Structure 1
Amino acid sequence: MSEDRNPSSRAPKRGEEVDVLIIGAGPSGSVAAKYLSAAGMSVVTLEQGNYPDRDKFPGRRPEWELVSQRQWHPNPNMRDMPRDYPVDTSESDINPLMFAGVGGSATIYAGHWTPFLPSDFRVRTLDGIADDWPFTYEDLLPYLEQVEWDVGVSGLPGNPAYPPKKAYPTPCLPIGKVGRKAAEGLDKLGWHWWPGTNAIPSQPYNGLNACVRRGTCMTGCPEGAKSTTDVTYWPAAIKNGARLVTGARVRQIEVDERGLATGAVYIDENGREHRQKAKVVIVCANGIGTPRLLLLSASKRFPDGLANSSGMVGKRLMMHPFSAVLGIYDEDLESWRGPFGQNISSYQFYETDEKRGFMRGAKWGAMPGGGPLGATSFVGTKVFAGATAKVGDMWGNNLHEMVDRRFGRSIVWGIIGEDLPEESNRVVLDPTMTDTDGIPAPKLLYKVSQNSHDMLKFHVARCLEAVEAAGAIETAVVHQMRDTGWHLLGTCRMGDDPKTSVVNPWGQSHDVPNLYILDGSTFPTSAGLNPTATIMSVALRQATRMIAERRNQKAA
């Protein structure tokens, strides 16, 4: 790899071989692009989606809730936009949710900022199941703290669920009437809660505006307040000389006769094929896109897929079991106000207690109910209407009465349970389905485990206690929502043993020494909370190591 150069030097020209090729401009790819380019490396990033246009985000327009049900639906099979690829979910209990574009799926996330806890890195040691990570929470902490200051996280220091750490760069957002009402029930039961920590600054920060609490976070933030890497990382990366190529659908990573990665073949939006050569290749295409690309890159030297001598590419898919509890109150909670990130969170039942009949636990996050359609739906899927209503309540006068009763008076508790790794849950190439360029689509084989079902039932029961303790006049529950596969983890496991893992503890392929994976597909376990903070922190850890070891890097 090249020596240091002026960070403000020119971007690489099309076709020019570069030090590093990054595939995917989501959270992990953006971190790598910024820091590797700042260290003087020539960087090209290929992103199949486009650069988000804030003017097209519908959150400030009156039709927002209507278009969010289709055009901005998080399920790519439902949204079906030109840069999406289809996913065969006919044998999956959960639909994957993702978004193609600079900033990746964070464009449509709620902004929850929940780093993994110390116990999440030591599941085998503590509970005798799954695996320990090859590094600890303490090892990752310096990178987490740096990322939080890059991102502009808002939060209140001192959460007893976590060890002490550096303060957040901006104060926590108001928890509002929704947060206070949710906390009321927890206080009566003596259970843990803490103001929500969100990737949404409470004041202008690092190119971001302050949150105006519109609550439309999951269709892109029209205010430019929610922290996404197109705002917080890419301006710096481009200034450093990194080149970002959008509309670039990668179909294969190429290797030479020595088995080293030489770059990638991609197809542009006009259907033309290009090659980007590089000395090192980094894949950041999420827990479905990354194994898909490695399997697509099979060759005579790698007949079972690139970097797959272990046979683990695509296996151990984790998507987090998820249930939701709705509480309706006989008072105005202004529950149309944002942020749609967590107003408060609770880790009361996060750690394992075998007396409960299952292993590991879950995090709760209290969120507002949204607009009028949010009174009867959640995350684009109708889930609450039939829970306590009779047939026909979704039509005519019954619908109007339901909206009047619920709008502005509702709290949604989201329950994210730990998804234990199982080799039977996996990503494979579909034998018939393709994307619009004729590239085989991924197929998911995924079943929610009995441990996950039992976990969610326990947590729903406890959450109902909390909702009712706060005085709810009406409740509704959805157990294991189908459209909840936001967190795509585990399909290219990180570990020390090449026989049982795809990459080493630094994200480097055991089989191809100049191929790295820096996204959540490398996670040995899933924890029971939103993974973006940990994905970005791990990416910074691995990128920092790459910079330090650049002179020892074997390269094409």
Structure 2
Amino acid sequence: MREDCDVLIVGAGPSGAVAAQEFARAGMRVTCLEQGDWPDYEKARAGYADFELVSRKHWNWDPNQRRAGGDYPIDDAESDVTALMYNGVGGSTVLYAAHWERFLPSDFRTRTMDGVGDDWPIGYWDLEPYYDEVERQFAVSGLEGDPALPPSTPPPLPPVPLNKLGRRGAEALNKLGWHWWPGSNAIATAEYGPLHACAQRTACPFGCPTGAKASADRTHWQSLAKDQVRLTVRATVEQVLLDDRGRATGVTYLDADGVRHEVRAGVVVLCANAIGTPRIMLASADGSGVANSSGLVGRRLMMHPFGNAIGIFDEDLESWRGPLGQYLHSLEFYETDRSRGFVRGAKWNLIPSGAPLSFMLPGTWGDEPVWGPNFTRLLRERLGHSAIWGVICEDLPDPANRVLLDDGAAAGGVPGVRIQYRTSDNTRAMMAWHLERLSEVLDAMGATKKILNSGLRGTGWHLMGTTVMGDDPGSSVVDPHGRCHDVPNLYVFDGSVFPTSSGVNPTATIAANALRCARSLVARRRDVEVTS
């Protein structure tokens, strides 16, 4: 049987990019199939008068609204949270806010420490050297010495400036005696490889026009796709193919014209995110599914319920500029204290409020009518005078929260998905408690008005948990190295392997774990069982 490549990667997001680079450096023949296309930064309009009018069209976080060529339908009628993603070269790093956070040691031991979730089959120190490496790959800016985290290698770049708003937030937390530290961001603060220094246009999630944000299309794929990896865009994978012994032989995919192709490979690695990866696995074997003897493919979906606390101030804090990205973060109340009425915790981060349209839309900015007589008053009240504290709550795994195929929403013959997700009582109690504390922070900052928002629907940026890793094939889908228990040459390297979600942004851990798994596969490649 002829193989087109040694390793076939599905998905050109951060996990696919990190893995592809590692495989190519090992001299392996690598092919990557990406469902979307390259980002078109000519449509990154920050600095132009039409910026806010067009940014939420081309750069919309919701694929159901964006409806680009690489998107597929997601039925979220049975979900409390809307799943957000970007299908294209770079994956969701094209739209992420670039908050770069390592998981804490306790995040890997929630069952042992708090009696909830599951312990990971690896720990913080297993990932620590890989965190160091991917922080260099993704141009992380920050400041060493955060007392809430273990000691670590300094990030390659200094942190983004706190600016007036960041300093106001830091002073308030000092007054309360609560932890804060300059935020770590995958944002270049100086020229760094292909990246330029951040211009602080608050445009990170809308196609960074400066080229400062470390999205995987810029940090990895621009060089990889030139001569090291065969990257095929607008390639919608239908299914993983198996031989008679249950080994993966490759995949079939549809090109932009709907023509079916087959790629043969010795190893298949899925990096299509925690919705796209189970979608492919469930659709494989002509709909019978693959690697699912545990019944857990698609289950345990976690999406990090998100809320915020908004403050409005008399002073001009220049909150129209800065990184989106974060000025600073706080982990003061991250660890479990059962007297609060819930387990686990949350991260806070302070961000600018940005340009006018973002805070003149109804919903998260209170109940006052915006259009009409109030418009000028509210614009003057909010522009530059407002601050946003985000709160990310740890999302515990629940088998009832899941991804299912939706054949009725097929696009070109490839099924869409529907998601079932309900926010837990533990998360709701956690959110309410943390918003009360953030209300105290806003008071300490001198806010004249406060708006607290819990459980915001359109915030499912962090997709995790649907092909859980573990040692026991009966209670997990992949082993600690990302290899499927049922199919020894099929791997998963993205955030779907996470047993728990932590309470911080996951991209750093997705990238670090993908590097760890890729390096393990390279070291053991002669022992991998391939098709005969």
Q: TM-score range by the shorter chain?
A: over 0.9
SS of 1:281's partner is strand
Q: Pick the aligned partner of 1:180 from 163, 167, 170.
A: 167
- 2:448 corresponds, among 467, 473, 483, to 473
Aligned to 1:116: 103
Q: Are 1:394 and 2:355 an aligned pair?
A: no
> Is 1:85 matched with 2:104?
no
> Offset at 1:56?
2.1
Contact in 2 for aligned 1:321/1:452 (Cα 8 Å): yes
The equivalent of 1:157 in structure 2 is: 144
Q: What TM-score does the superposition give when structure 1 sets the normalisation length?
A: 0.94
Match of 1:409 among 364, 376, 385: 385
User: In the alignment, is residue 35 of structure 1 matched against residue 22 of structure 2?
Assistant: yes
Matched, 1:136 2:123: yes
Unaligned runs of 5+ in 2: none
Q: Measure how far apart 1:157 and its partner are.
A: 0.5
The one of 403, 415, 428 aligned to 1:453: 428
Q: Distance in 1 between matches of 2:364 and 2:399?
A: 33
Q: How far apart in 1 are the matches of 2:76 and 2:456? A: 14
Give aligned-pair identity as a percent. Answer: 51
| Corresponding residue of 1:212 | 199
Matches within 5 A, 1:323-342: 323-342=307-326
Worse-superposed segment, 80-89 or 234-243: 234-243
Q: Secondary structure at the match of 1:58?
A: coil
Tell me which of 433, 436, 445 is aligned to 2:409. Answer: 433
Give distance in 1, aligned partners of 2:274 and 2:349: 24
Alignment of 1:5-404 (within 5 A): 17-238=4-225, 241-299=228-286, 304-377=288-361, 382-387=362-367, 389=368, 393-404=369-380
Deviations 1:212-247 (A, max 9, x none): 111101111111110011111123423552110001
* Contact 1:376/1:383, CA 8 A, preserved across alignment: no
Tell me, in whole angstroms, the C-alpha distance in 1 between the residues paired with 2:360 and 2:505: 24
Pairs aligned (count): 531
Q: 2:83 is matched by which residue type in structure 1?
A: P
Measure, in 1, the Cα distance between the counterparts of 2:192 and 2:272.
Answer: 28
CA shift digits 1:493-521 (9 cap, x unpaired): 00000001000000000000000000000
Distance (whole Å) between structure 2 residues aligned to residue 268 and residue 104 of structure 1? 18
1:16 positional shift? 6.0
AA aligned opposite 1:117: L
Counterpart of 1:155 in structure 2: which amino acid?
G
Please give the alpha-carbon distance, in whole angstroms, between the structure 2 residues aligned to 1:298 and 1:425. Answer: 24
Q: Secondary structure at the match of 1:440?
A: strand
Deviations 1:154-181 (A, max 9, x none): 0010001111010110111101111111
Residue 5 of structure 1 is matched in structure 2 by none
Question: C-alpha root-mean-square deviation of aligned residues, in Å?
Answer: 1.4
> Deviation of residue 431 (structure 1)?
4.1
**d(CA) in 1 for partners of 2:188 and 2:82?**
30
- Deviation of 1:338 after TM superposition, in Å, equals 1.9
**Cα distance in 2 for residues equivalent to 1:73 and 1:234:** 22
Return closer, same or farther for 1:161/1:240 CA change in 2, 3 Å cut-off. farther
SS of match in other structure, 1:22: strand
Question: Do the aligned residues in 2 keep the contact of 1:376 with 1:384 (CA within 8 Å)?
Answer: no
Which structure 1 residue ranges, 4+ long, deviate > 4 Å from structure 2? none
Is 1:35–1:237's contact at 8 Å kept on the other side of the alignment? no
3-state SS, counterpart of residue 396 of structure 1: coil
CA contact (8 A) 1:281 1:514 kept: yes
Counterpart AA for 1:539:
A
Alignment match, 1:3: none
Secondary structure at 2:46 match in 1 = helix
Deviation at 1:304, TM superposition (A): 4.3
Please give the TM-score of this superposition, normalised by the length of structure 2.
0.98
C-alpha distance after superposition, 1:75-124 (max 9, x if no partner): 11111222211100110110000001110011011110011111101111
Whole-angstrom CA distance in 2 between matches of 1:48 and 1:56: 20
Q: SS of 1:547's equivalent?
A: helix
> 2 CA distance for matches of 1:340 and 1:78?
22
After superposition, the C-alpha distances for 1:433-474 in whole angstroms (9 at most, x for unaligned) are 222x12111110100011110000000000010011110011
Q: Conserved in 1, the CA contact under 8 Å of 2:404 and 2:419?
A: yes
SS at match of 1:453: helix
Contact persistence 1:27–1:106 (CA under 8 A): yes
2:396 is the counterpart of 1:424: no
